[in-house]
Amino acid sequence: MIRCRVCHSPSTFFIFNSPDTHGRHPLSQRQFPLYCCSTCGAYFLNNLSPNSYPPNYYHHSVPVFIQKILSLISGQKNRPIYQYFHGRFPVRLLDIGAGEGDFLLSLPSKKFIKTGIDINSGATNIAQNKGLKVICGNIDHHSFGPQKFDCITLWHVLEHLPHPQATLRRLRHLLSPDGLLVVTTPNAQSLGFRLGQKNFFHLDSPRHLSLLSPRSLHHLLVSSGFSIQKIQNNFYEYPLDLFWSLRRSPWRFLIYPIYPLVKLIDPETVLILATVATSPKVP
């Protein structure tokens, strides 16, 4: 019996053998069985941990114009946080999977008390050299003592977690009662996944241990003690992800000519804003 990684239901079934890819790049000939849960709708890999990261997964040089685009995207990422707090600064913020600290650097120190955590020591060393407080450790095991945070962010981290429900329940206790949880993750109900299947840009097996849809995200967050406030399409985040997902699909001949329009309305990745539920039905 194979239980769902997200909701632990035994009602799961095999989908296909997922290739070892990062974005559009194959990394090896390995394949990993991908399952779907009929209860919550999540897709997941079984009996794997996120320990197979390719070289330069966290750190790589990019052209200057790409850096400028990423800077603009960071500004879009910050907007929901500013809108939620409505000038109630300073905000105590924890960024999980902080990497080299690019997101934390985009936040003004006058408005944010910034902390980050990441499992990759090379990335955290770079962040610390930038003057940032970024801890090398695992969020499931690191103790922050009695400290609470006003905002916790997980930018494309949820899909890497071996036990997402347990981690989110812990985060509920780290978040202040009126705090904000911000999550971005690939969308398993996107056109890229439904039409691209094994070529889905965000498949990233075996590093992405689960792929979630709005349905499975709702199940996961509510069962972890959160109340979803908003789910939105981050169409600007990966401009060419759908393009590469469809590179071998016959649907590309219909979609490529109107790609900007389709990309605008098709949520390949989603951003979720959630708060602590007033009466969470969780332990």
Instruction: Express each pLDDT in 230-281 by its tens digit.
Output: 998 888 888 999 999 999 999 999 999 999 999 999 999 999 999 999 876 6
| Alpha carbon distance 93, 75 (integer Å) | 16
Task: Give backbone dihedrals phi and psi of 158, rounded to 5 degrees, phi first.
Answer: -55, -40
What pLDDT is recorded for position 234?
84
Beta strands in the chain (DSSP E): 12-22, 25-37, 43-45, 91-96, 112-118, 134-136, 149-155, 175-186, 210-211, 226-233, 269-276
Domain formed by 69-276, architecture: 3-Layer(aba) Sandwich (3.40)
| Alpha carbon distance 46, 173 (integer Å) | 28
By the 8 A CB rule, do 92 and 151 touch? yes
By the 8 A CB rule, do 267 and 237 touch? no
What pLDDT is recorded for position 281?
61
Number of Cβ atoms within 10 Å of the Cβ of 236: 14
Helices and strands, counts by H and E, the chain: 9, 11
Provide the residue ranges of all domains of the chain, joining segments of one domain with +: 69-276
Q: Which two tokens stand for residue 8?
A: 């632990």
CA angle 8, 14, 238 (to 5 degrees): 85
Global pTM reads 0.90
What pLDDT is recorded for position 75?
62
Nearest to 209 by CA among 74, 94, 84, 46: 46
Count how many Cα atoms sit within 13 Å of the Cα of residue 235 in the half-sphere of its side chain: 10
What pLDDT is recorded for position 65?
47
Contacts of residue 212, defined as CB under 8 A and 6 or more positions apart, other chains included, come to 6, 42, 43, 158, 159, 185, 186, 187, 188, 220
Strand partners, 25: 22
Which residues, given as ranges, of the chain have pLDDT below 50?
52-67
Helix, strand, coil % in the chain, rounded to nearest 5: 30, 30, 40
What pLDDT is recorded for position 63?
47
